[in-house]
Every structure is written in structure tokens, then in C-alpha cells.
Amino acid sequence: MHNPQLNKHGELQHLLTIDGLPRDVITAILDTAAPFTEVAEREVKKLPLLRGKSIFNLFFENSTRTRTTFEIAAKRLSADVVNLNVSTSSTAKGESLLDTVDNLCAMQADMFVVRHAASGAPFLIAQHLLATGRDHIHVVNAGDGRHAHPTQGLLDMYTIRHYKRDFTNLTVAIVGDVLHSRVARSQISALTTLGVPEVRVIGPKTLLPTEVERMGVRVFHDIREGLKGVDVVMMLRLQNERMNGALLPTPQEYYKVWGLTAEKLALAKPDAIVMHPGPMNRGVEIDSSVADGTQAVILPQVTFGIAVRMAVMSMLAGQQGSNK
């Protein structure tokens, strides 16, 4: 099947999901991100790569960290960044998603960074651009519904590679609310594509998607059992805002059973790292002593996220369209 993210030369045209991305493309993104990390230490924290390009941050759903890191990444590449908080603008007046896109294309947009509560919205935009012959404009998915959050998945892979070097001898546990998590889906795709031999998913039955095993993971409903001997613990945020119905008793109850405490973390390998995509609910899915502890790499994840987004945006902007 044609992968809508790649042009006919197999180069990245849009970044919509990690699912289906070839391993060499993922590795190329991580390799490209590495030299970008050093820019933060310069006197002038700017590279001229995207000078004159206009990048529109289209956030149909609130986000501070993701939008900010995309904005910083684009600015460090010298692009002009326009932030649209669409939830409070034209859409509220009834404009359709594709009409908004068409209007921004008329303002000479070069790239859209899109977050949307509906799964597939960035894909819809990419298809629309292709169908209307505007394939020089690129789309980056910054999180769509429950579907995917590819740059988060990629920055997590960058973080794991930074601390663990090699993926092919790791046991990685993803813990918590997998059901509502687009981050978890991107992580699982990336980890399996990069050759991690054992990916574990740990959570209560009500917060795991049905047939999650089919994604190639081992499922644990007992966190102590699941954490035994793992190299990497990837915590997920409990997504209260996406829950309807009684999936959970109370946050306190959740913490007691599923919260990552120092005592539970001690079951993992002594050099295991703890990751969290943020924002953290301290005292719900993670204890403060772990979040601030020596094994946590949660803040480095944020820093690496800027470099990974710089890599993605500059690789995309370097492609001149699928008809090149």
C-alpha cells in the first residue's frame, strides 16, 4: 500500500504516524536530531535552514509543551512561526477544517503542525493538499485523537537510544492508560520497528485497548510482575479529560495499585530509566520521589524533543513535493 507520508522516492513528505514508517527512516530522523542538540549550547541558538519558511501551528486542542517545543524548534531553524489557537477562532464560528487550511495556504504556508481531537485530521489535511496539487506543503501530526503522536514517539526513541545505545537487547514497559493514549500507540510502533525484543504493556483491563496483544506486546495486569527486570519504564498520563463512564474508581485508588513508586521501580533493572511524556499527575500515575529521582529522564525528554522536531521539520522542508 502507498504510504501517504512518503514521496515516490521513499523520502518523508509528511509525518503523520510512526505506524508503517520504515526502520531506516526512523533511524535517519534520530541520526539527524543528534547534531541539532548542540545548537542549544551556542551563543546564537539559531540555524538558517528554514529562513523564509512559514510554519503554522494549528492547535485544535490545547497543549502547552508540545506547541511550545514545536515553536522553539521552528524558531531555532529561523522559520516564521504563526500560532493559531483554533479552538477559539474561526472554527468556533463554523469554518471547516479544510477551509481553514485553504485560507492558510493562501497566506503562503509551507508547513502545518496539527493537533486535533479527531483521529485522522492531519491525514485528511495531507490528502487534501495532495488532491489540490499543493504537495510542496508539509504536515506534521502533533497528536490526533487516540491515534498517534509521532514526534513524541520519536523523541522517546531518541531518549532511549541516548541512555541505552542499542534497542535490540532491551525490555521496555509502557505503564498506565494505554486506551486513551496516542503516545502509547506511537511508542509501541516505534519500539517494535526498531527491534526491541520485548515490549510490555502494563495497566488495568479497563484502560487497555481490546486485543492490544496484536500490536506485538506482552500484556500484564500486575504492575509488579510487569516491571521485573525492565530497562525502560515509560509512564503514561492518566487522561481524565478523555474518560467518560466509570473506567476507574478514584485517582487515589489508581495510585495505590498503578502509581510508580520507588518500591515498585526497584523491581526493574537497577539502571532502568523512567520516562513520562508530561504533563505529570504527581501522586496519581507517578510518585514525586520517582519523578524527581536519579532514574528519571523526564526533563531530558523535553530537551531532546526540540532537537527531534528540528530534525523532522528540516527533513520535511527539504523535500520539494512528491512529484520532484
Contacts to other proteins by CB under 8 A:
11, 28, 31-32, 34-35, 38, 42-44, 46-49, 314-315, 317-320
Distance CA 120, CA 148 (A): 9
* For helices 97-105 and 121-131, angle between their N-to-C axes, nearest 10 degrees: 50
Q: CB-wise, 38 or 211, nearer to other proteins?
A: 38
Q: CB-wise, 32 or 127, nearer to other proteins?
A: 32
Q: What stretches of 250-318 adopt beta strand conformation (E)?
A: 273-275
Rounded least distance, CB 24 to other proteins, Å: 11
β-strands 138-144, 171-175 pairing: unpaired
Rounded least distance, CB 31 to other proteins, Å: 5
Q: CB-wise, 76 or 180, nearer to other proteins?
A: 76
Rounded least distance, CB 318 to other proteins, Å: 3
Cell of 38: 548542540
Q: CB-wise, 28 or 280, nearer to other proteins?
A: 28
Residues 6+ apart with CB under 8 A from 96: none
Rounded least distance, CB 160 to other proteins, Å: 19
Distance CA 141, CA 127 (A): 13
Q: CB-wise, 74 or 173, nearer to other proteins?
A: 74
Distance CA 45, CA 95 (A): 38
CB 111 within 8 A of CB 316: yes
CB 275 within 8 A of CB 156: yes
Distance CA 213, CA 208 (A): 10
Q: CB-wise, 109 or 201, nearer to other proteins?
A: 109
Rounded least distance, CB 265 to other proteins, Å: 33
Q: CB-wise, 53 or 146, nearer to other proteins?
A: 53
Rounded least distance, CB 83 to other proteins, Å: 24
Residues 6+ apart with CB under 8 A from 228: 267, 268
Rounded least distance, CB 107 to other proteins, Å: 20
CB 148 within 8 A of CB 17: yes
